[in-house]
Structure 1
């Protein structure tokens, strides 16, 4: 194909442009005038690449030697092919005598320098074909061609400066043809018309093998897993898609990665907070959800050993720091800082419900009612003997009003009296409300004592022991149906304590309550609540 047909040619000199140019034929001496813009007398560069009609021949023409068109002045004709072609020939058909010397230059690409393509002087035909020149067979690619006309071919008669002789010497070319095929680097079999961004019509390759560009000179976006190569008859050299695991549609070719792994596709702009050359992992300080989306770890910068969490999103905390994001002190730790949290060291026996717990800011432990101190390690004034089994932590001092300061004395131990009724009633008796003895029964087979009220007067079980005086302690839980009570065992637990939680009435201060207990003369359990009612007590 003629790659030059219809293409624009830029000429550095054209007759009739600056002023009408008079010229004459070299042999017939017929003279005429060249006027730019006159359709019958103009000879613009566009006539170089128009349709070459032998019956109505058009040509481009320069000014004459009369206008100093001669060496060292040169005239350049530049043809931009619009894309790369593999050139097979360049043909120039001169209407004027062939120049004494001229040269052909080319560009490999749009931004390359001009390089010599062919030099010509004195010998040859009016129609010049360069396709068989051996030198050109090694570098046939061109995107632009330039013809440099260096010296007119004269007979030496110009030395007389005869105007008609000088006006007969000029450059004139009827046809500028460039034979070639679209350069597609083996990735296309044909070219198609296209319009460039500047609006210029041009030919572009109809690319295959996942290639792109006017010359199929690069891989399509996202097809950069292997380097671009020219196709050969034996190898298509198809561009391969990058492996981004579905998290990106953009990549570039990474030569270093290709040298190491045989795959050069380096993914960019990974979505779902992913990273890596193949979007194969989460970004730093993220972890992967089941659906493949990566979630920020959000590890606290002060409480975490590292901002990177594990695969479950759990951060690695500094000593004493807790929470999934390491954003707070653990139980029994306080003073959250970049060093972690400090232990509260709460005393178990003095801590509320024997569960050490402290304020995460101040480190003050939560103490039982009668305990104090930063770590709940001492009794309040007026209390002694901090004890894990003591619901209130410490026992009130009882010094008969002579002192409020006391300490635990040695030589004492806790004794729990217990009646099991294995061999006898173990000293238990029964009395009426008025204090009169009431007979009771001991039943060794079931290990119980039983009593019946002989009248409407209430009957009480009286615990063993000699007491000169007695005080009635009526329990706050009581069975009111003797029939039901006799059909099942019921257990009642009472604690003799001044605190309101135990329900004793009237309410007494700790000192008064202990004074009462120290003067206790009897412990009685009410047995009957109805006339002639019955009740029994069994071993625990």
Structure 2
């Protein structure tokens, strides 16, 4: 193993030793890397790891069943290469070369190697398939060989746990012949998400210890602006990696010739052997988690922050739909925000049109507002209720029932601020529950409060009283004995008349409300300062006639 590949391992070992020396270090509260000290959200990413370490690799061929003998050529400094042979026996651990050796812990003094079966005739594909168990954003795929590197090799990736496979990279000295692709094609923004082919890393030498390392972003034009390149973000996202060895190198036997092929079955055969299979990358969490962890079922998931959820923190938590989910970047954390429902709703949805109209600030719409509230933010009272200004809008009892009188009110909706119900003519009160001054209650649900219309004809003074000759045009309501239409006397005390309570003018028509029957010595109607006398307006005629027609049809109870 080269020094460059041993360095990350050394760092990990040092960290493990440090923790062992200080067992109380883990008990100390560590700052959350997803938030600033003041609680402001910031982009966070899991640590960079070898995602293949310890993972199971499915291989199409492994030596040792049955036991077999294989030979390889070993180079020696300043001395001729020698041919060495060994037995692979899966039943004997010291001679076995299982697939688990591909992703185990290796060191320079203990390099374990997986080895395929021996192949004697035409080249056969050997496949290594690695499942990461979760989406990762990978930076490289590397293979360190214990045998000569393949002459042709293909790397594929899957983003859906092995259901579909996409070419990732090809290596071959004959790109066009093997993979129908040009050698070392130029990378542009138009093809940066396509697999390329190169003849690099395909040399025969070194015969052992050779490395093939594929960098997923090297040379890709958008790599410098990765946060703003959805194309490359998808390009580096994988759940599974598949490596296919398509064609081997055939090293010459020491001394040329090839004598002994007939005597030794291992002579003239080939095999593939890999000591280390690495996939460098980070658990894909879209900038909303600093680590991945295993669920109870053993599935690897992100430890999501910023009000996100999902295996990759790829959606907003319920009720946090005030703006659309977005990946975090160095410039914008894109934290999911809770809908503003003033504590009156538990569910909401996102509306893109409202979000755009707000200048991309808010798009949440509250659902099923409670506590008699309504509106996009549950910010006003629903029909039949009004705001109690003594309580905040977030209070459970912020809305009070209008309680509009079913007969006196013209509707069920009241003023949202004052609670005043819309009253019918002649009706007053905040809930429209009584007749206004000068009006009398009737039995009609259409006109619950009514008046008397009179025409003033003449006046004379009788002692302390003013005696008006009036003509009653229409009677809508009277107390005691019914008042008939026609000529009557209207008595008003001179004291009340002097202060214009009520104010009477000759030859005018008035609505008289609150007039009562006078005593026997003053036959007729009696009005005082508590009576209401309003000069008649012709615009009232149509409305009153409407009431009259309804009364004639029996739709109104007579007073």
What TM-score comes out, normalization by structure 1 length? 0.49
- Greater relative contact order, per chain length (Cα 8 Å cut-off, separation 6+): 2
Larger radius of gyration: 1
What TM-score comes out, normalization by structure 2 length? 0.48
